[in-house]
């Protein structure tokens, strides 16, 4: 279906023609109830949408668009196990990863929930053994460091959650994460470690991903140089579905934790891909995180679009990206613990919806897929916030903030946190309402400085608040954004669950690697620039 042919799409185009006239000061002045009406409470999250440049008429037409493209029906098809990932002929059932015991979720007529809980049980038993010290390495020493080796969704989700939930970590065990095939990443991870107390979790569904396998093989060499080849079985476990390759590597397949084709990589942190996280925070906290995910799943499935937080977030992003031509969105967590959250969302959003072909194979005729970027506050205030406030491009922003500090036991924690939260609120206020020349002139007499110190305002933002950053709240945040991305994809008519855009580079790299290593004179048949780069690299390496 081409969404641009709908009645509501045409209405939104008409609204966008007067986007510059949508003034947040005026919207607030004209509507005293705007904040109450546009603030939603979902589980532990409070989502304030009032500072968005959407009038009631715009919002009504966005909701009408969601209905015209069948958003609710598409979400129901997803959670019911229909093969909505049509280019790979797969169901999309990450929501089943957090379904409670007793719920039925069918994939090809089979209830997948028992298998999910069987795997969670195996993960929990293993995590408990590592955490208690019952699982020991080749020398009999308990594990002190877990190194997760993966890339993409096998890295971004676990490392983000590990950092976010630092307050819930095991007192003895620490995790490190290796993803980049640049050898310095692995070297830095193992440099100060004792192989006898180190456990590697190799996360690769197919166990053939080049970057992950290269890092795994180097990790294996590092370990066996000290402990011998027989030690691999006690210091390596796998998250994979390829038992043959796992066994060939030397990992006991009893220590292989699997997941399913219907779990996309960027939606997999709550599957076995989260094994390192479960070891760090424990099975109970991991279960709390799944409960948080589920709360948002249920909200998305059962709540009318006009009150549906992830759906409205997605619709507002469509408004900005497609109709108002705003190319990016900043994600600004006012929480150091969430410092990896913007990077996690980059994959979730940009890999899902960074596409120019609709699900029916036809090219889109409108803009899709915003650029997602950001850093924690208050650091960003001293770097890129200048552009947010006074730059020539309007960039919508998401502020995320919590009522309680992550380290309440720290002396002075309240003072630190009060200042952090004050800055968060001040930034969203300044972006929305700015400072007029007349207001500046009340204290500044130099006309030149008046112009420089004027803030245009009218810069939109969302503020998401929760009482504290807990495992449940983290699950709620991730699911909120998952379903926002889903909404955007449905409205744009995209398949949000494939990622063909990552394939070409892999194919070309496989063709180039042999040319870089060839002991003779390689037959270079690439473009002129790539041939020259290969030759220059070979010369640098003396080949």
The phi and psi torsions of 97 (rounded to 5 degrees) equal -65, -20
Catalytic residue among 7, 416, 452, 506: 506
What is the number of other CB atoms lying within 10 angstroms of the CB of residue 500? 11
Contact predicate 123/272, CB 8 Å:
yes
Distance CA 234, CA 527 (A): 47
Which DSSP string corresponds to 352-387?
HH--SB-TTSPBPSS---PEEE---TTGGGGTTHHH
Q: What φ, ψ does residue 106 adopt, rounded to 5°? A: -100, 135
β-strand 256-257 against 236-239: which pairing, if any?
Answer: parallel
Judge whether 506 counts as a catalytic residue: yes
By DSSP bridging, strand 106-107 and strand 45-48 are unpaired
515 is catalytic: no
With a CB cutoff of 8 Å and minimum separation 6, the contacts of 326 are 320, 370, 393, 394, 395, 396
Q: Which tokens hold the place of 377? A: 């506050």
Active site residue 351: yes
Dihedral, CA atoms, 301, 306, 312, 316, nearest 10 degrees? 150
Given 171, 382, 409, 442, the catalytic residue: 382
Identified catalytic residue from 107, 163, 351, 482: 351
∠ at Cα 112 (107, 118), nearest 5°? Answer: 160
Catalytic annotation, residues: 351, 382, 506
């Amino acid at each position: 279906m081409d969404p641009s042919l709908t009645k509501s799409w045409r209405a939104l185009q008409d609204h966008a023609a007067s986007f510059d006239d949508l003034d947040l000061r005026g919207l607030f002045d004209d509507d005293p109830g705007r904040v109450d009406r546009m603030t939603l409470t979902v589980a532990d999250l409070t989502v304030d949408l009032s500072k968005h440049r959407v009038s009631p008429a715009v919002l009504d037409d966005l909701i009408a668009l969601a209905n015209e493209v069948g958003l609710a029906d598409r979400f129901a098809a997803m959670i019911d196990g229909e093969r909505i990932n049509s280019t790979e002929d797969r169901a999309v059932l990450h929501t089943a990863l957090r379904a409670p015991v007793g719920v039925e979720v069918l994939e090809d007529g089979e209830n997948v929930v028992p298998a999910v809980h069987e795997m969670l049980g195996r993960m929990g038993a293993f995590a408990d053994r590592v955490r208690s010290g019952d699982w020991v390495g080749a020398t009999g020493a308990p594990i002190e460091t877990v190194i997760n080796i993966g890339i993409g969704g096998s890295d971004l989700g676990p490392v983000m959650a590990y950092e976010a939930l630092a307050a819930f970590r095991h007192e003895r065990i620490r995790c490190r994460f290796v993803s980049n095939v640049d050898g310095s990443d692995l070297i830095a991870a193992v440099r100060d470690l004792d192989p006898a107390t180190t456990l590697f979790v190799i996360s690769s569904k197919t166990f053939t991903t080049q970057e992950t396998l290269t890092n795994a093989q180097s990790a294996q060499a590092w370990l066996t140089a000290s402990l011998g080849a027989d030690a691999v079985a006690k210091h390596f476990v796998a998250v994979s579905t390829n038992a043959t390759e796992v066994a060939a590597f030397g990992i006991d397949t009893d220590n292989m934790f699997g997941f399913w084709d219907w779990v996309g990589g960027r939606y997999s942190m709550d599957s076995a891909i989260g094994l390192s996280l479960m070891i760090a925070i424990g099975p109970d906290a991991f279960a709390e995180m799944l409960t948080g995910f589920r709360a948002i799943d249920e909200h998305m499935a059962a709540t009318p679009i006009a009150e549906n937080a992830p759906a409205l977030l997605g619709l507002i992003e469509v408004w900005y990206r497609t109709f108002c031509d705003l190319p990016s969105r900043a994600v600004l967590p006012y929480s150091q613990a969430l410092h990896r959250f913007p990077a996690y969302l980059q994959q979730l959003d940009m890999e899902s919806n960074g596409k120019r072909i609709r699900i029916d194979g036809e090219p889109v005729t409108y803009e899709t897929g915003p650029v997602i970027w950001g850093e924690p506050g208050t650091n960003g205030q001293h770097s890129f916030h200048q552009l947010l406030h006074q730059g020539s491009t309007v960039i919508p922003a998401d502020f995320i903030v919590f009522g309680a500090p992550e380290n309440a036991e720290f002396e002075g924690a309240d003072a630190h946190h009060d200042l952090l939260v004050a800055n968060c609120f001040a930034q969203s206020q300044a972006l929305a309402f700015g400072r007029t020349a007349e207001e500046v002139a009340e204290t500044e007499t130099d006309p030149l400085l008046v112009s420089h110190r004027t803030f245009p305002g009218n810069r939109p933002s969302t503020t998401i608040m929760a009482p504290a950053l807990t495992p449940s709240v983290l699950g709620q945040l991730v699911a909120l954004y998952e379903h926002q991305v889903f909404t955007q994809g449905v409205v744009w008519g995209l398949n949000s669950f494939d990622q063909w855009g990552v394939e070409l580079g892999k194919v070309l790299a496989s063709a180039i690697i042999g040319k870089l290593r060839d002991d003779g004179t390689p037959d270079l048949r690439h473009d002129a620039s790539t041939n020259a780069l290969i030759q220059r690299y070979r010369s640098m390496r003396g080949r």
